[in-house]
Amino acid sequence: MSIHALLTANLMTNPVIETIGKRRSVRSYEPKPIPRAIIKMIIEAGNQAPSRGRFEKGVVQFQPWRFVVVENAEFKLKLVHTTRPIWRKSMESMKETLPEMYEKVMMDYEAMDEPKDMVYHSAPIIIFVIGPASYAVSCALACENMMVAASSLGLGSCYVGFGSMVKGDADIVEALELKDDERIYGPIVLGYPKEESDAMASIRPKKKEPIVKWI
């Protein structure tokens, strides 16, 4: 057993380290609602993330983020219709570079019931983490806290980058109350995991040992 594997085995007895190690990006969810108390708990975990301060009206303010929770089926459908063309265009670029993966993913897409949702994965909850574009690190830390918290509570999560590409739709921008200087981080989808298809499982990256330089 390598030193890395030995250390990992010992660290996995710590519940926090164990949760971090087990967290995965989940892309298939049960159609089961999440109690609002649990959603609030996950958001509060994000709210506890470290953040860089900023001046606002002469006062240093922390926690630059805000959260928009999407439960409404009609609004989720609007999100799907807005992001699906962007997703399809991105998939087309994979034809030459990753033909086998493209074939598997598109087979999944064609077999999927309407509305075909390869971005938000038909998750029961979508949480938009929104903050100033200059506070990307702080907002990313909040996202990570939320995903680790979700895993600790038996939920799956996924940071869906395509989901941030909705600024072209005026109704969505208005609903999210997006300002010109704000950016969407994520969004993060949440739900109770179900078994993924082979195609979805095949795009899960395998973790490699960390590259470390000691000085």
- Please write the tens of the pLDDT for every residue from 30-68: 999 999 999 999 999 999 999 876 666 666 567 899 999
Give residue limits of the domains in the chain.
27-202
What CA–CA distances, in Å, run from 104 to 79, 85, 119?
Answer: 24, 19, 16
Question: Which residues does 212 contact at the CB level (< 8 Å), separation at least 6?
Answer: none
Sole residue written with tokens 């973790």 = 207
3-state helix, strand, coil in the chain (%, to 5): 45, 15, 35
Percent of the chain with pLDDT over 70: 86
38 closest CA partner among 152, 162, 172, 186: 152
Percent of the chain with pLDDT over 90: 57
Task: For residue 141, give both structure tokens.
Answer: 């830390």
Amino acid 197: pLDDT: 58
Pairwise CA distance, residues 155 & 152, whole Å: 7
State the pTM of this model.
0.84
Segment 65-79 shows an average pLDDT of: 96
Task: For residue 30, give both structure tokens.
Answer: 């049960």
Is 208 strand, coil or helix? coil
- Strands 66-70 and 125-132 come out as antiparallel
Pairwise CA distance, residues 51 & 66, whole Å: 13
Pairwise CA distance, residues 42 & 33, whole Å: 15
Question: Which residues does 177 contact at the CB level (< 8 Å), separation at least 6?
Answer: 68
Give the pLDDT confidence of 130-175 residue by residue, as tens digits. Answer: 999 989 999 999 999 999 999 999 999 999 999 999 999 999 999 9
**CA pseudo-torsion sign 176, 184, 65, 27:** positive
Number of residues that this document lists for the chain: 215
Question: Which residues does 164 contact at the CB level (< 8 Å), separation at least 6?
Answer: 183, 184, 185, 186, 187
Segment 102-130 shows an average pLDDT of: 89
CATH 3.40.50.1110 fits 27-202, yes or no: no
